Chains A and B, each alone.
Chain A
Amino acid sequence: MTAVTQSNEPPKLDNIAEFFAQALAIEVEATERYNLLADQMEVHNNREIAAIFRKMAVIEGEHRNEIARRAGDALVAGRPASFSWIGPDGPEAIDCDDVHYLMTPHRALMLARFNEERAVRYFEAIAAAATDPQIAAFAAEMAAEERDHVVWVDQWLEQIAPDEPGWDEDPDPPVHSE
């Protein structure tokens, strides 16, 4: 999970259109990232984790579609170049370097939970800093929806056994070749 925080200030959003563009970009990125990670796991035959990531991609995709629907004509074309406030990547996208080819369902869901929580904090901070009441209201709503996702992931986690120590130990590990 990224340790990088490049600025302490939430992004300055001048109008509701910018907010929608930002929110939509976050969900687009999360959807694409989960699909990418699902592809990686399928290629490496970790089908259980692939299914988890694919399901998360569907959920984020539905959220993306809902934001696009609500934004309607207010949506600004294009997407923000970066999310440099909270990290080098979108707050809801799992960092590509956090996954492991032997990762367990528990670990995958913990990563998802970390990112949903990060999204909650992101939208809460925007809501707190917003001077436009419309932005504050929508940001608070987004934070609540992301909080629902955290609860949902928690419920999923309750059904899964925690990791055993050494979950990442490969009995047939990669070896250096002469």
Chain B
Amino acid sequence: MNMIPNAAKAFTPAEYKSAVKPVWCPGCGDHSVLISFQRALAQLALPPEQVAIVSGIGCSSRIPAYTNCYGFHGVHGRSLALASGLKVARPDLTVLVASGDGDGFSIGGNHFLHACRRNIDLTYVVMDNRIYGMTKGQPSPTTEPDWDTAISPGGTGLSPFNPLVIALASGANFIARGFSGDIAGCAKLIVEAVQTPGFSFVQILSPCVTFREDQQKGWKNVVHTAIVPETDDPARAARRLMTDDGFNTGVLYRGNRAPYQPLPLARFDPSHLETEFAK
């Protein structure tokens, strides 16, 4: 958590918006997630120059360009590696990471495990549409096993990756799920994720209206607020996940593990270099 209170200035969500117009398909859930990001940052009253948004590759990973915070549109699956380095080097920045289910759980799956384990103070928001949208509709790690398409006849037959289970088992300190259609709810989750020290993971169900419109347009009618309150007990959270239907929203787990702190670096005085060159 790195919130520097700025009592002198209140920010509106519009002040986090860049001049770049999103190219996402109209109706895509990622538009709503972008608004949630902007609202969350406004609620946190974080000056844009004190925030960095890091991403990988995919539709959702375009988010940094659409805000006027610092941004890094990185390489596929490596958003958490980049963000970890950034946070360790610049602990004063609030670092948010944006990803999708393909980027974050497939090629980036290994980084996900270890980011949870390291518990660096990051907020990781994964927009999950259960598909690789940008590359035109291939099944992703969270795709249902029986999703039958021309490129996956009869479905993949593979058990879907459950990111909340993995996050809990790997040591993430804050775990939540939201739905893109609930803009205010997602903004609240992002605020809480940033305010919770350590690695925070927020899965946001974000429908793909181009390749999965028939299956995902109805998500807004099936998502529901979890009736069980959040817990700081990993065992209780694990039991909740055993009966999770994948559409429970809200905070699942909020732990109190201390975030990773790098060892203090020896101070380097650049004037030493000048002395060396002068020799």
Q: Residues on A close to B: CB < 8 A? A: 2-4, 32, 36-37, 39-44, 46, 77-79, 81-84, 88-89, 95-101, 103, 174-178
Contacts and interface: CB of A to CB of B under 8 A. Distances in A.
Given A99-B27, A101-B26, A176 B136 contact: yes
Contact of A101 (B27, B43, B207, B221): B27
Given A39-B21, A43-B23, A176-B149, A88 B184 contact: yes
Interface in B11-30: 12-14, 21-29
Contacts of B23: 43
A97 B181 contact: yes
Interface residues of B, number: 38
A96 B180 CA distance: 9
Nearest to B135: A177
A97 B209 contact: yes
Contacts of B31: 36, 40, 96
Nearest to B32: A96
Given A43-B21, A97-B220, A4 B182 contact: yes
B188 interface: yes
A73 B171 CA distance: 50
Interface in B139-193: 149-151, 180-185, 188
A100 B81 CA distance: 36
Contact of A97 (B27, B150, B188): B27
B181 A4 contact: yes
A53 to B, nearest CB: 10
B22 A43 contact: yes
Nearest to A170: B210
Interface string B208-237: 011100000100110000000000000000
Contact of A103 (B26, B137, B207): B26
Q: Which 9 A-B pairs have the closest CB atoms?
A: A177-B136, A82-B184, A176-B137, A88-B182, A99-B26, A39-B21, A96-B31, A40-B26, A96-B32
Contact of A88 (B26, B29, B43, B181): B181
A36 B136 CA distance: 24
19 contacts: A4-B181, A32-B13, A39-B22, A40-B21, A42-B21, A81-B43, A82-B188, A88-B183, A96-B32, A96-B35, A96-B181, A97-B27, A97-B209, A100-B26, A101-B26, A174-B137, A174-B211, A175-B136, A176-B150
B138 interface: yes
B107 interface: no
B43 to A, nearest CB: 7
B4 interface: no
A2 B181 CA distance: 8
B258 interface: no
Contacts, number: 96
Contacts of B184: 81-84, 88-89
B188 A81 contact: yes
B14 A32 contact: yes
A177 B152 CA distance: 11
Q: Which of B23, B26, B149, B221 has the most CB of A within 10 A?
A: B26
B39 to A, nearest CB: 8
B89 interface: no
A99 B31 CA distance: 11
Nearest to B30: A96
A103 B26 CA distance: 10
B181 A37 contact: no
Interface string B28-42: 110110010000000
A47 to B, nearest CB: 13
Contacts of A177: 135-138, 151
A45 B95 CA distance: 34
Contacts of B210: 174
B21 A3 contact: no
B213 to A, nearest CB: 9
Contacts of B185: 82, 88
Nearest to B31: A96
Nearest to A95: B181
Contacts of B138: 176-178
A83 B39 CA distance: 14
B27 A98 contact: yes
A97 B209 CA distance: 8
